Structure 1
Amino acid sequence: MDTIGNLFSFITGPVSWIIVQFHKLYGAIFGPDTGWAWGLSIVSLVIVIRIALIPLFVKQIKSMRNMQALQPKMKAIQERYKNDRQRQSEEMMKLYKETGTNPLSSCLPILLQSPFFFALYHVLSKIASGDTIGSLNQQLVDSAREAHIFGAPIAAKFMDDPGTVEALNASLLDVRIVTAIMIVMMSASQFFTQRQLMQKNVDLTVKTPYMQQQKMLMYIFPIIFAVMGINFPVGVLVYWLTTNVWTMGQQMYVINQNPTPGSKAQDQYLQRLLKSVTQHGEVRGRRKRTVVQAIVAKGPDRNDNERRFVGSLAKAGFTPQADGTVRKVDPAEAEAEAAAARRQQPKRQTKAKRQAATAQPGAKTSLEKTDQAKAEQPESGKSGSTRQAKSGQRKGQQRPKHPSSKK
């Protein structure tokens, strides 16, 4: 970790400067040598970084949704060009370009946080050894060494030996209890964030290997954080726990306010929107009108959640308009309009149902049905009578039999 910390040493100056500025603020309130002053300085550092990364978080959400929607097409490309890796890569890049999807966008927030994370680790390592770094002079380093969070110094680690912990004026038991609790909280918040995403904000109609990978990561990431956490100083655990809680809250907001189409969260959001419309008789809020406008624009391409929403509006006597508003009409008229919209495009059957229907005895494909229809049409020159080919006999003009053949 020291080697990695040195690799990102170029950013230790800005990180230490931000911590010092917040320490001046919190030190005036709680005292300069308290754990509250130094701990809240680290928390504030996280908040500053995460606010700066909000635009990238929005791109991450869009990229994850696009990647999820593209999984069936990506799988088809892989199967079609499974023996030609170069053509497969070219088709993948073409698909990304056409849809405006960047696979790396989902990793950008984590990648951009890494320098700050390792820079903070480097700063805390220097504090533990009593060395100055960046904007932290010797007086501030000594103050940080004396700061304890629930009895554990901010520079102490779970795996520290008793001598190192005693040099920081703390007991090994206190350090291990505090760090263990923080590691468990850090891993639990990571697991809950991923679980919340998988259960509520995923299009349930898309079943691809990508979903299985995400489920595996839901269990793997918390284990990785727990293993790595025993080597993190208390200050770094504060940083990582704070950023996990921020991510969890930020994602919860996105799931509630801008859910993925076709997901369970979208169904819950549309139910809340339906309740609001029936109570007030209108769509309140620009963002809600934008949602209704998008549903109307989809027409027959709406997913099941959106069809139920439009149907429920019709039962309540409302018809959604192209501008995102609703019009109060007679419930029978609204039902008729909703039924007409549903008839524009029949509901698609799943692949399993289509295969089961084809596999049934006597089931015919569309081509066979067309051939049968042609065979049943009346022949020209006949007096309206229809002739059907006998079983085992070819249709159309027959070759004349040889004179020597038996009749």
Structure 2
Amino acid sequence: MNQNNGMQKRMLIMTLVVFVFFIAYEFLVLKPQQEAKAALVKQEQEQKQNSAPDVDTTQMVESDVNGNPINMSKSVDALSSKAIADKQIVSVIKTDKNIIEIDTLGRVAQVTLLEEKYKDENGNQIKLFEANQLRPLEVRFADKNINTEAFNAPVIASSSNIDATTSKQVLTLTQTLSDTVLTKTLTFYPDGHYDLSVSATNDKQFFITNGFRPNVLADMYALHGLITKLNDNTLTTIEDGDLSKNENITGVKFVSNFDRYYATVIYNFEKSLSITLMPDLSSNPQAFIHAGSSINFSGFMGPKNFKDLLALNKELTDVIEYGWFTFIAKPMFVLLQYIQSYVGNWGWTIVILTILIKLVLYPLSYKGMVSMNKLKELAPKMKEIQLKYKDDKQKQSMHMMELYKKHGANPMGGCLPLILQIPVFFAIYRVLINAIELKGAEWILWVQDLAEMDPYFVLPILMGATMYIQQKITPNTMQDEMQRKIFQFLPVIFTFFFLWFPAGLTLYWFINNLFTIGQQYYINKLFDKKRAEKN
């Protein structure tokens, strides 16, 4: 087989294999790993409950003169669900967006989202946190003795119920210990975010955490873990399970622990933060902020909604993680938002965005399709050369190149445009996977939530069918039977994986296939016309 033609085929197969591997890896490898990890964590928690039902004590390393953490023990309630006992709650704050519950140690015990679209599979309003996780705004003192005392001394709240639905309200939490008084002053706003000022008397050093990430949707499709933004605007993401040891970071603008759609964020854009990242028992990242004896910052606990984050601060939109292709994905999402502001429907917005992407990439697609048609026309002559010079590869290659040059064909033209479109696909994949704006967004008839799978599998089947049609009308110069079989099964494989994909992503792929079919049909007709004119 000709070397260039063989390379062209190998690159085309490689491109498709990348797609299949990308989908299969997430579905067959990542999901089982996450399920196994969740089972292990649950088993560890049950063991702790049996051995020490009241407290679980771990140690943090001692701090140095620079203020790194020292010898701080923690206490975590041995509960396994999101239910928080009433006796643990000292204050309940209601904003326009959420209900925030503060526990006896001055921590955020639970956040319940109030907007109608944020409901779980049972129809209940979504709660962000597990009862037994590291809780936001937990304080740990550098002095071990004070720290132990603090975990056994309840705070006094200035009010047990606060209504911040229409205007900002202030809550003061006071914890009186033998050698210091810890005071937290929280200002809650109707949009659900807060400002916090914390201080300890007698210059007692302490640390404060934004807690473990929300545990609502940590699935195989999107990243979940921790992200920080530094003064130089660099972003660092550490996924759950990837932190093996303590790490100190300075010059931090914000730190966010997040799952697919929700985040717990602490930020200060006027005075940067210093933090220490610590792994938990499952190597998940936990952030502890160096407070000294006092600190001020702002925070947010809730959905990673682009407009809400933008309203707080433009830089907070970086909380939304798009992975490797952020440089393409972020402007793409801004365009998606812009289109939706006029269209008003996320489903049709995805359709329009898909068409725009196809138009922008049309020159690449056109060149690739033309090249494939030319190669198909030249296939008989290529086969003649291969048979004539089957024992002399050098002459075979030389005559092939002459043939390509004479007819203006490019053996790489068919797959290079496809390869160049891979970053675009991955970017739109990340955008649609991470966009909480799609949650609860209807399209037509049976599609009531674009963030969930199509309940009747209509879109995946249509996607598979259009992929099959596209394959049938696309010129194919492959002689190898195994390669042909691989391509024939691709629509079936893709349909299978897309059965469980969010409807919004499947809609994108389906519309993309439709327009690719239209483009290919048009180019095929042009070649048929030229062929007829020659005859």
TM range (shorter): 0.3 to 0.5
The structure with the largest alpha-carbon Rg is 1
Structure number having the greater strand percentage: 2
Structure number having the greater helix percentage: 1
TM-score of the two chains, using structure 2 as the length reference: 0.36
